[in-house]
């Protein structure tokens, strides 16, 4: 958040206040910082080379079409507690669950935008009242307490949506983001499918596969777009 804001400020300063050359440097810095903030796990090629980069590299691991930054961070933190990542066990952040939910709310679930806005506002009131902090500033243990209270319907600040409805929806959407085909913006690199051992859109299983007591490992995991591009599906 702070790096992101710093980057945005630098961009604005560069654009309106300085000369062309200085401005370009500031823009680059801002771009680099933005990219770093958005994709902390990858190196930043734009900073080292590409002085004339004409577009930012989208990594589709955050938000951008529906949530504001505060709501995006809250949803990402909430989803991560529902499905926490650990070494060798990809969680909600690894699977880009936030990106899935953000895209869904701008598309198929547009009718639930108000549900989310109100739910997140109520969550904020509840957390500030109970812990004097917003959800994202709480410790993992405190966040789990909050989620448990919602699940049990104990957070009386919630009217619409009810605490349980909000919990159930975030849980369902987190699972969708973990396990739906990556074409929907989650399940990055098949993180969810790898977690549970699901081989994805396999076109067939053999009699030996069906009778096997072992995990299925014969074919690579395949998603819908790769399947369509290869032209391997269909009558």
Binding site for another protein (CB under 8 A): 81-84, 86, 89, 91, 108, 111, 144, 147, 151, 171-172, 175-176, 178-181, 184, 192-193, 195-198, 201-205, 207, 209-216, 224, 227, 233-235
DSSP for 48-66 reads HS-TT--SPPP--SS--SS
CA distance between the termini of the chain: 49
**Three-state secondary structure call for residue 32:** helix
Count of other CB atoms within 10 angstroms of residue 234 = 6
Task: For the CB of residue 70, give the shortest distance to another protein in the complex, in Å.
Answer: 23
Give the nearer residue to another protein in terms of CB position, either 42 or 212.
212
Secondary structure (DSSP) of 80-149: HHHS--BTTB--TTTTTHHHHHHHHHHTTTGGGHHHHHHHHHHHHHHHHHHHSS-GGGS-HHHHHHHHHH
Rounded Cα–Cα distance for residues 39 and 124 (Å): 26
Q: From the CB of 135, what's the least distance to another protein, in Å?
A: 15
Asked if residues 28 and 16 have their Cβ atoms less than 8 Å apart, the reply is no
Judged by CB, which is closer to another protein: 44, or 202? 202
Query: Measured from the CB of residue 52, what is the shortest distance to another protein in angstroms?
Result: 40
Distance CA 22, CA 27 (A): 9
Residue placing its CB nearer to another protein in the complex, 46 or 138 = 138
Q: How many CB atoms lie within 10 A of CB 100?
A: 26
Q: Closest distance between another protein and the C-beta of residue 7, in Å?
A: 33
Write the Ramachandran bin of 198: left for phi over 0, alpha for psi from -120 to 50, otherwise beta.
beta
Residue 133 beta carbon to another protein: minimum distance, rounded to whole angstroms: 21
Q: Which is nearer to another protein, 11 or 193 (CB)?
A: 193
The nearer residue to another protein, 69 or 181, going by C-beta atoms, is: 181
Judged by beta carbon, residue 89 or residue 137, the one nearer another protein is 89
Per-position DSSP letters for 107-121, written without gaps between them: TTTGGGHHHHHHHHH
Nearest distance, CB of residue 169 and another protein, angstroms: 12
């Amino acid at each position: 958040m702070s790096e992101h804001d710093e980057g945005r400020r630098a961009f604005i300063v560069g654009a309106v206040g300085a000369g062309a050359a200085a401005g370009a440097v500031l823009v680059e810095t801002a771009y680099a910082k933005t990219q770093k903030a958005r994709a902390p796990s990858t190196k930043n090629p734009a900073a080292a080379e590409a002085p004339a980069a004409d577009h930012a590299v989208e990594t589709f691991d955050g938000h951008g079409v529906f949530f504001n930054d505060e709501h995006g961070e809250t949803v990402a933190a909430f989803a991560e507690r529902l499905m926490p990542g650990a070494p060798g066990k990809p969680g909600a952040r690894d699977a880009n669950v936030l990106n899935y939910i953000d895209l869904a709310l701008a598309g198929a679930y547009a009718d639930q935008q108000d549900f989310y806005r109100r739910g997140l506002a109520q969550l904020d009131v509840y957390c500030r009242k109970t812990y004097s902090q917003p959800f994202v500033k709480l410790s993992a243990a405190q966040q789990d307490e909050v989620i448990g209270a919602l699940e049990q319907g104990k957070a009386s600040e919630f009217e619409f949506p009810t605490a349980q409805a909000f919990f159930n929806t975030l849980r369902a959407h987190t699972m969708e983001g973990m396990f739906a085909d990556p074409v929907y913006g989650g399940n990055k690199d098949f993180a969810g499918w790898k977690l549970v051992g699901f081989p994805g859109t396999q076109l067939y299983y053999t009699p030996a596969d069906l009778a096997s007591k072992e995990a299925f490992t014969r074919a690579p995991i395949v998603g819908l777009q790769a399947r369509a591009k290869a032209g391997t599906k269909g009558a």
